[in-house]
Structure 1
Amino acid sequence: MLSTHITAAFRQHFSSAPVLVRAPGRVNLIGEHTDYNGGFVLPAAIDKEILFAIALNGTSSARLYSYDNQEHYTTELANVQPGQPHWANYLKGVVAQFQKRGVTVPGFDCVFGGNVPIGAGMSSSAAVECGLAFALNELLGTNLERMDLARMAQLAEHEFAGVQCGIMDQFASLFGRPRQVVRLDCRSLEYEYFPFDTQACHIVLCNSGVKHSLASSEYNTRRQECEQGVSVLQRHYPQISSLRDVTLQQLAAHQSEISEVVYRRCRYVVEENQRVVTACHELVAGNLAAFGQQMYASHAGLRDDYEVSCPELDVLVEAARPLPGVYGARMMGGGFGGCTINLVVPAQVESFVAAMKAAYQQQLGRELETYQTTIVGGVQVLEPAVVPS
């Protein structure tokens, strides 16, 4: 078990008895690239997770050990700065957020590791940030709310990892519930849970095997393009603060004032917000087939209007479409690689995986890795860690 390995590693490298915290990765069923535009998203926490064993050490240093990289790193807490190794930035960024709130962070020892695939769009970075934020909140008795921890984890990624992410990933890791998806309004931060019938439908992720080398730079470009569209529309509609406020009619009325590329970016976001709302109605109605149609439409928009897909992701979505028991499929995450998310009838999962592997090999000559995931609860302290003697 992962928890046993992490606690054993902690005992090997450090001496005290740690607190053990589990922080899940996430999937996003629909609502991609809407979060930083003040829109709606529909994520869920999943059973791929990062585990933390952490304890105060009575010094002024954080002694970190990445179990997956088999790598140590120590930093003085009085002056945390981004640097190398890159993995430590996610942790140092969280410490800096506590310090910005006036919290003195004493020295601590930390071993962390997990099974969230890196680069597959399941938000391993958010799990790392949220796990440490939650653990420090427990150890230091700071009594911060989960939403505060989500904001702090998001800012850690902005300021120390250099990615201007929205808040969805951190929110999903902290606010997940078993057998439910959660619709987050990324502007007001209001949220609502919707039932997800894990007996009727399984989530299968197909990893394109393509690393999103373009994702960070293109992500920031997409943000700028959306902001350009908003600035033009604000001249006519001062009440607009983000694409969340824009209707397709308003966008069409001023299409001539916006470049063709920016128009398509904005149209995608406006339509995707509506798809999330529609998809939630279908979940309540128990109509998974109609929910799946919104997923296919989401992928088409990401491919054609937002242009963040890639040939490998497109092949996977089209290969899934005709297979028996598939409700819907689309690319998930920032784009340019990573996974597709597929909703599949449980009895058909095995044949689905076999067919997808064969299709990917046949069409692109590539091996396909797949993951079956379950929707679980958010970040939590596990039972007091049993440390092997």
Structure 2
Amino acid sequence: MKKIISLAPGRTCLFGDHQDYLGLPVIACAIDRDIRLTAVQNSTSVFNLNMVDINETRIIKIDETFPELKPRDYFASSLRVLRRYGCIPNIGYDINISGNIPINSGTSSSSALLLAWINFLIEAYGVNEEVTPEFISKIGYLSEVVEHGEPGGMMDHYSIGVGNVVYINTVNPFAVTVIGKELNGLVTGVSGVPKETIGLIGELKNNALLSIDLVKQNDKSFDLNTAEIEDLKKYSNFLPDRLIPYFEAAVKNHHYTKLALKEFQKASLDLKKIGELMNGHHAVLRDLLKITVPRIDAMINASLKAGAYGAKIVGSGGGGSIVAIAEPGKESQVAEAMLAAGAVAAYAVNVDPGARIV
């Protein structure tokens, strides 16, 4: 019986949280925590899914077309999307799924599971397209965000699918560029406070888009991609007080992402400079978008006191994880400081090459 092992890593956002759904760029990297899907062909017409870590099972008929989707059912939506690309299941599989990405932590366990599932389906049944990391990432984005009408962006899918450290330009011409294959000194800390993704992203996205639209109504030449911090005072005059923080956050976060890209493009990477920019980015997320919680703040502060060059919250916020960057060799002392500040887990991570069949 045919056996397929599909692996997909988690990811961490370095610069550009809450930016990709605004058409702004992101710098992210895949990290070596992963979801592993092991599928063995059977003689039935069903997928027998065994999700080991959460002690759940599911049976899906291979010919199910899912005319209606249940919320967040990415197994179903990806099957539906892939059928449009000629991926037609014709034999069943017994599938075990396990992983070491903390669930609901801001490091994209759900998107990693989705990409591992998509990669397995393509490997098992094929598609009518050239299979590239970008194609797999695109199917992930269509399946999770577009098919379900969710408010998120494409950072998770492309950083996991392409792997390495990537710069994702989310507007025309859309492009994903690998800007690094190593980034030493990374430490992840898991707060244990469950993050709130869909509602929080929806609120932040709507307020940011509303503020941008109001500025455009008053200044037809306005372009968020070229806006600079020096322009904020002028544009803020067009906005009610409650929307100013969302607009300011969009401009400032883009500013830090642009500066970080310049650093990544240099011949040698200055980790201290990357850390300083990370701190600036986190201040925007904390003070303007207000997506941190007390335990996250305590973990950030402890990381910096322990010698980290920089640290920030990761993902949608309201809980979840942080990422810190430290001098290589000092990762363990930063992780210990995170744990002392209340983290339920903390560990050094390395850059991962991305979703793959192993």
- Provide TM-score, normalisation by structure 1: 0.82
State the Cα distance separating 1:101 from its structure 2 match.
3.7
Aligned partner (choices 150, 153, 166) of residue 182 of structure 1: 166
State the Cα distance separating 1:357 from its structure 2 match.
2.7
SS at match of 1:257: coil
Aligned partner (choices 286, 290, 315) of residue 303 of structure 1: 286
Bigger share in helix:
1
* 1:381 counterpart letter in structure 2: I
Structure 1 stretch 338-347 or stretch 281-290: which is displaced more? 281-290
Aligned partner (choices 351, 354, 357) of residue 378 of structure 1: 354
Structure 1 stretch 222-231 or stretch 57-66: which is displaced more? 57-66
State the Cα distance separating 1:355 from its structure 2 match.
3.2
The runs of at least 4 consecutive aligned structure 1 residues that moved more than 6 Å come to: none
Once residues 56 and 306 of structure 1 are traced to their aligned partners in structure 2, the CA distance between those partners, rounded to angstroms, is 47
Are the counterparts in 2 of residues 225 and 262 from structure 1 also a CA contact under 8 Å? yes
1:265 equivalent in alignment to 2:246:
yes
> Over the residues paired in the alignment, what is the CA RMSD in angstroms?
2.4
Once residues 154 and 323 of structure 2 are traced to their aligned partners in structure 1, the CA distance between those partners, rounded to angstroms, is 20
Aligned partner (choices 103, 107, 110) of residue 122 of structure 1: 107
State the Cα distance separating 1:151 from its structure 2 match.
2.2
Question: In the alignment, which residue of structure 1 is the partner of 2:65?
Answer: 79
Alignment deviations for residues 310-339 of structure 1 (CA, whole Å, 9 cap, x no partner): 111111112222323x21111111101111
Question: In the alignment, which residue of structure 2 is the partner of 1:7?
Answer: none
Are the counterparts in 1 of residues 215 and 238 from structure 2 also a CA contact under 8 Å? no
Alignment deviations for residues 133-172 of structure 1 (CA, whole Å, 9 cap, x no partner): 1121222221343323222212222366664221111101
SS at match of 1:72: strand
SS at match of 1:44: strand
Unpaired segments of 5 or more residues in structure 1? 1-15, 361-365, 383-389
Unpaired segments of 5 or more residues in structure 2? none
Question: In the alignment, which residue of structure 1 is the partner of 2:75?
Answer: 91
Q: After the TM superposition, which residues 1-389 of structure 1 pair with which residues of structure 2 at under 5 Å, given as runs?
A: 16-55=1-40, 57=42, 59-76=44-61, 77-80=63-66, 81-83=68-70, 89-101=73-85, 103-109=87-93, 110-142=95-127, 143-158=130-145, 163-177=150-164, 181-187=165-171, 188-195=173-180, 197-198=182-183, 201-212=184-195, 214-238=196-220, 243-248=224-229, 251-283=232-264, 284=266, 285-324=268-307, 326-358=308-340, 360=341, 366=342, 368-382=344-358
- Provide TM-score, normalisation by structure 2: 0.89
Alignment deviations for residues 152-209 of structure 1 (CA, whole Å, 9 cap, x no partner): 21222236666422111110111113xxx111112233133223655xx321111111
State the Cα distance separating 1:367 from its structure 2 match.
5.5
Once residues 160 and 112 of structure 1 are traced to their aligned partners in structure 2, the CA distance between those partners, rounded to angstroms, is 23
State the Cα distance separating 1:72 from its structure 2 match.
1.9
Q: How many residues align?
A: 350
CA shift in 2, pair 1:295/1:67, >3 Å: same
Alignment deviations for residues 68-90 of structure 1 (CA, whole Å, 9 cap, x no partner): 22322112333324349x6xx12
